[in-house]
Structure 1
Amino acid sequence: MTMSIKKTFFCLLAALLLALCTPGLLPAGMQSAVQDLENLIADDNRNQFRSHWLDLAGRFQQELDESQDGNDKARALYYLGRTYQELGKKSFLPSDFEKAEEFYTRAVREHPDTDFAGRSQYRKAEIHLNHHRDSAQAYLEYLRVVYNHSSSSKKDAAQEVLKELDRKNLEMINGKRASLDLEKVSEPQKSPQVSLEERPLADSRIEEEPGQEQSKTDSRTARLVDIRHWSSDEYTRIVLDLDSQVDYYHKLLKPDEELGTPHRLFIDLEKTRQAEEVTQEENVADGILSRIRSAQHTTDKSRVVLDIDELDDFRVFALENPFRIVVDVYSPDERQVLQTVEGEPDISLDPERAELSSGSLLEQLGLKVQTIMIDPGHGGKDPGAVVGNFKEKDIALRMSKVLGRKLEQEGFDVLYTRTEDVFVPLEERTAMANSQKADLFISVHANAHRNQNVRGFEVYYLNFAQDEDAKRVAARENAVSTQKISDLQYILTDLMLSSKISESRDLAKKVHEVTLDNTRGMFSDMDTNGVRQAPFYVLMGAQMPAILLEMGYMTNQKDMRLLQNDDFMQYMARGLTKGVTSYRDKIEQFARLD
């Protein structure tokens, strides 16, 4: 009898240990609740009653309260979100979807390293796409699955949704989707308006009787004060400068062979008057952009038209402080020229052919690293951070010149956005790098913080800010509020997949790693906050790997002593140079044929 009891005891103990140690085996209460949820979803009779859903939510809440393990808590939060999401599909109550989003957000924020965080992020994106009908926000949420939860079981599904959204967006851009004519979308006028295409641009301004301009516009009317552009044979950036924020609308018209017109991109600026000094027509003829035309389309609407000869893609987004609208126009990738009519690369296997050289192949693949654009932060009227008599703009310029000399000694070609104390707008800096076909872009800065104990070297690349500190740094460098940084992340929805985010992340990690190893050997008190990501204006639209360096905190005594030390500058510049060289060597090995 005693042996029988002992045997039973050990069997039960073994079963308990197996249950506790077997990966993926759910606790009995959770397993039962999950099964009941699936049954309720499938039962069209019972799922019409709210009480059944709330009973299930109570059971998942109990599992959450009793869970000790992080993965178990993430699972409970996920299924709480799932319960309210499915309930919302039946009730159509916004509050149910809001509760679902709250639980999904908690799973992502509190347990980011679990698979349930990625699954929760995916479900959150699903709510925006299918319930809110907000494809732009949904796109942003799906991107977070891919980039912030790359090991999630939902990554591939998120990528498929992104591809489908990209396809629909591309159809719209190419005019394959039926849309209203631009003139029909415009506000109705009391008297017929002659279109910009039909009247001479010299007569395109609306004539007003003397003394009437004040009465026809109100104090909220903005002014289009300038149109700027930068060009290369692959890329053109156009910037519309305004004196205040406006609503705007853009539309691409396809070429018309009968009329002999190219691609035309219209940008309408609501409640805007065009300043007299703005040129109404400018011939650009850079191989991409034929000309820029502007006119006062109606009494309170200005219109800018871009005539585009060669178009592969374009981006339109707004930046603030001051408000301006940025248009990036891209020509077809020159690497496509290497292909034959059948679409196959025309590369011979003859070892004497130049195409087989490592350098040539690197260029064809867009992987070469020879020309580096260094961007000393701030300048001129923009001092950056100011601590006592020291200004960030001066520290950044000094470091940039030291770094430039080190890079040149290693055989790199170095360009600068500025070499003296002058102001350069943020959007102009990236445009300079793109138009001059730089292979890397490095923006140099020094940091600041209200807390004087905060210190450390940081390397940033363009992506969604993942914490409040990253938002704060981006807000300071962009000269906007942290709330604007949250709003700004929506811009990344359209820019993410066209930016070299993966390459920039690799560059940031390599530069950070090698710089630390090189500099700490002499300056052991050098601190770091690692590699981070945030939406910096100066990195947006870069067509090459681009990073932003924060060398240290001017508001911290230890960091400030380092930033004033010439030897520290030399060691850090040497480390940065070695990091760039190491990055170049790493990517070249993928194309080396020997």
Structure 2
Amino acid sequence: MQRRSIRRIVLVLALILGLASVTWAAAQDDYQRGVSSFKSLLANEKRAGLRSEWQAVQKYFEKSLAAQPKGGNAAKCLYFMGRVHEELGRRSYLNADRRNALTMFERILAEYPKHDWADDALFRKGVVLQEQLKDQAKAEAAFRAVVSSYPNGDMAGEAKARLKTLGGGVPAVTVQPAPAPPRQQADSKQAQTGRASSKVAASRTKTSKGALLQGIRNWSSSEYTRVVLDLNQDVDYDRKLLERANNGAKQLQINLRGVEIVQDVQPSRTVGDGILSQIQVGPDQAGGALVTLDLTQMDRYRAFTLPDPYRVVIDVYAADCVAAPKAQEPQTHQSGDVDHVQAALSELRDKREDTRKEDSQAKAEPKPVPSPAKGPTATAQVPDQPPTPPQKVAVSNKQKKYACSLVEQLGLKVRTIMIDPGHGGRDPGATANGIEEKDINLRAAKIMGKMLQDQGFEVHYTRTKDKFIPLEERTAMANAKNADLFISLHCNSYKDASIRGLEVYYLNLATDAQAVRVAARENGVSAKKISDMQFILSDLMLNSKINESRQMAALVQQEAEQALRPRYAFKSLGSKGAFFYVLTGARMPSILVELGYLTNPAEAGNLNSDAYLSTLARGLVGGVMAYKKKLERFALNDSGRS
């Protein structure tokens, strides 16, 4: 009798545990489906205009929360429910939707005040109050609470920026205009006008809802600098290059039309950690903002914009030990790439003509007062892609020593590698089957990095913890570290759960719909936006390491396949070109690896396994080693012919 009772108790406990496990799994599945559906709907403006679509998304989070009201995803479910109502309110203009959004965000603050997403909820509450309910006082209080209650949270900076756009926010500072060339300085009337504009602009910044320059970030090395101008909306801008001295020092001026300057932007900041010596900011006479970069030397520069949030990115390059390649069409081994590349280059030639006219006009003006600086070193040009030797040549020890030197001189060495675990922090990346992409990316990066270190490489990471890093900072970090390779790790997703496989991308024009789709997801924009924005790439192609990146992508894909195929059901989707923000501006060969599809249950299980990630990492490292050896063979054979 006693044994029967024990058995019954055991059976009841097993049944309870089993039901709890099923409930937890169902709650997880509903949450992941909700996140995916939310992102998909947000990217489809036509569907997003229908209330029924948002209600369908809402149900996933309601089901997950009902199944696990105190579970690990409870606060996140409330957050997304708030976001659903926020997006509904943005489209319906109904205060009921807006108040429902506030209710959800306030529940998080009341029930989960120490949750990682509590500062996000408080910030979104402020956004709804400011943008939809037009309650500026309460919005200001919410943003101030973000700064005071969560000073180390990832929303504190954005809350400060919001405060500066509010009438009762932090008062704006009066900024003096950036030093102008002598011709302008000699004109006292213009100088007086500039000072008056400064006061007017500062006054407008307190209440204006127009375009604002919210901050300036920069990264520098002895041969490169990247400057990012953070804005609250898309703007038009002009650029002008001014010669300052015969020794190579220059001024690059970026004029942001109709843009006002917020308080935190310093009028003058000394940098002095590379080719960038100083950044000066001030209003121009037309009511815009003038940003002046003082450069000790410069060989070339490029400027482009990135959306969501809006920013202008300026990359400046010093003269390398090897001069930039001549304008020529990048070589390609795939006939499908040719038309796209030629079209981009044709467009680029027109742009370069405009740039030359613009620069020649700037040079015709009186030159500013020169400042001491070292000039660029003139060197011979070399082809962007090393030639394939026709035959093997016997190489002496002396020639081998020369070859090592040649590898250094041509920038073909592979010693320092920057690994970029994609996404992070508030950006989870793809989410499916209970897994967040950002976590897999970081695990894979650390495993791969350790293997590369064991091979003698110097390894750096864009992040080593769950931290959000803007896309433009990632390659800037690699450039500032003078990395020889940049490898960005990601996971993929798709609505068809049967799709699986590994893909390796390099920066180029996307040649198929799949490449456009993947790039759109990683860039956080729509596929149409990628198609519209590919013209940016034509301004990057001539000086990017496209051929080297293509070769490395092919070798990495090949070695990964060889490592995985004997042990796993592996599918290779090949290597291909596409336009990724995270790869733009890289001065070294750079690739983006899509490790697999989290939406495929079997592949998601593999990617969540350290054993699989280790095998995959061995393949990726094998590809790096193969690329390194290819460069060394080129140098050896070249020295044998000399």
**Whole-angstrom CA distance in 2 between matches of 1:581 and 1:342:** 29
Q: Is the aligned partner of 1:194 residue 2:182?
A: no
- Corresponding residue for residue 206 of structure 1: 198
Shift in Å at residue 483 of structure 1?
A: 1.6
**Whole-angstrom CA distance in 2 between matches of 1:468 and 1:236:** 34
* 2:303 paired residue among 289, 292, 316: 316
* Shift in alpha-carbon separation, 1:228–1:195, aligned structure 2, 3 A: farther
**Whole-angstrom CA distance in 2 between matches of 1:309 and 1:209:** 30
- Corresponding residue for residue 527 of structure 1: 571
- Please state whether the residue corresponding to 1:590 is helix, strand or coil: helix
- Corresponding residue for residue 241 of structure 2: 252
* Shift in alpha-carbon separation, 1:287–1:575, aligned structure 2, 3 A: closer
* 8 Å CA contact 2:322, 2:380 repeated in 1: no
Letter of the 2:259 counterpart: T
- Please state whether the residue corresponding to 2:634 is helix, strand or coil: coil
* 8 Å CA contact 1:234, 1:334 repeated in 2: no
- Please state whether the residue corresponding to 2:198 is helix, strand or coil: coil
- Corresponding residue for residue 84 of structure 1: none
**Whole-angstrom CA distance in 1 between matches of 2:378 and 2:305:** 39
Report Cα offsets for 1:118-176 as digits up to 9, x if no partner.
Answer: xxxxxxxxxxxxxxxxxxxxxxxxxxxxxxxxxxxxxxxxxxxxxxxxxxxxxxxxxxx
**Whole-angstrom CA distance in 1 between matches of 2:196 and 2:433:** 53
* 1:364 paired residue among 409, 413, 434: 409
Structure-2-length-normalised TM-score: 0.57
**Whole-angstrom CA distance in 1 between matches of 2:556 and 2:434:** 30
Report Cα offsets for 1:26-71 as digits up to 9, x if no partner.
Answer: xxxxxxxxxxxxxxxxxxxxxxxxxxxxxxxxxxxxxxxxxxxxxx
**Whole-angstrom CA distance in 2 between matches of 1:434 and 1:213:** 34
Q: 1:388-537 counterparts in 2 under 5 A? A: 388-523=433-568, 525-537=569-581
**Whole-angstrom CA distance in 2 between matches of 1:210 and 1:274:** 7
* Shift in alpha-carbon separation, 1:569–1:556, aligned structure 2, 3 A: same
- Corresponding residue for residue 71 of structure 1: none
- Corresponding residue for residue 592 of structure 2: 548
Report Cα offsets for 1:209-255 as digits up to 9, x if no partner.
Answer: 9976678x5x4x11111111111111111111111111111111222
Structure-1-length-normalised TM-score: 0.61
- Corresponding residue for residue 257 of structure 2: 270
* Shift in alpha-carbon separation, 1:426–1:548, aligned structure 2, 3 A: same
Q: Is the aligned partner of 1:235 residue 2:224?
A: yes
* Shift in alpha-carbon separation, 1:277–1:565, aligned structure 2, 3 A: same
* 8 Å CA contact 2:205, 2:261 repeated in 1: no
Letter of the 1:411 counterpart: G
**Whole-angstrom CA distance in 2 between matches of 1:342 and 1:227:** 33
**Whole-angstrom CA distance in 2 between matches of 1:459 and 1:403:** 16
**Whole-angstrom CA distance in 2 between matches of 1:444 and 1:343:** 35
Letter of the 2:257 counterpart: E
Report Cα offsets for 1:345-389 as digits up to 9, x if no partner.
Answer: 9xxxxx999994332221111111111110000011111111253
Shift in Å at residue 531 of structure 1?
A: 0.7
Letter of the 2:276 counterpart: L
- Corresponding residue for residue 568 of structure 1: 612
* 1:558 paired residue among 573, 577, 602: 602
Shift in Å at residue 441 of structure 1?
A: 0.6
* 8 Å CA contact 2:493, 2:597 repeated in 1: yes
Q: Which 5+ residue runs of structure 2 have no aligned equivalent?
A: 1-179, 324-373, 383-395
- Please state whether the residue corresponding to 1:357 is helix, strand or coil: helix
* Shift in alpha-carbon separation, 1:209–1:528, aligned structure 2, 3 A: closer
**Whole-angstrom CA distance in 1 between matches of 2:311 and 2:378:** 41
* Shift in alpha-carbon separation, 1:474–1:288, aligned structure 2, 3 A: same
Q: Which 5+ residue runs of structure 1 have no aligned equivalent?
A: 1-181, 346-350
- Please state whether the residue corresponding to 1:543 is helix, strand or coil: coil
Shift in Å at residue 467 of structure 1?
A: 1.2
Shift in Å at residue 193 of structure 1?
A: 3.9
**Whole-angstrom CA distance in 2 between matches of 1:309 and 1:245:** 30
**Whole-angstrom CA distance in 2 between matches of 1:249 and 1:435:** 26
Q: Percent identity?
A: 46
**Whole-angstrom CA distance in 1 between matches of 2:274 and 2:293:** 13
Q: 1:83-98 counterparts in 2 under 5 A? A: none
* Shift in alpha-carbon separation, 1:508–1:296, aligned structure 2, 3 A: same
* Shift in alpha-carbon separation, 1:285–1:214, aligned structure 2, 3 A: closer
Shift in Å at residue 341 of structure 1?
A: 8.8
Report Cα offsets for 1:488-531 as digits up to 9, x if no partner.
Answer: 211111110100000000000001011101111111x1112111
* 8 Å CA contact 2:201, 2:261 repeated in 1: no
* 8 Å CA contact 1:204, 1:295 repeated in 2: no
**Whole-angstrom CA distance in 2 between matches of 1:344 and 1:389:** 52
**Whole-angstrom CA distance in 1 between matches of 2:521 and 2:250:** 38
**Whole-angstrom CA distance in 2 between matches of 1:261 and 1:589:** 36
**Whole-angstrom CA distance in 2 between matches of 1:341 and 1:274:** 39
* Shift in alpha-carbon separation, 1:324–1:343, aligned structure 2, 3 A: closer
Shift in Å at residue 424 of structure 1?
A: 1.0
Shift in Å at residue 583 of structure 1?
A: 1.0
Q: 1:99-138 counterparts in 2 under 5 A? A: none
- Corresponding residue for residue 222 of structure 1: 211
Shift in Å at residue 256 of structure 1?
A: 5.3
- Please state whether the residue corresponding to 1:450 is helix, strand or coil: coil
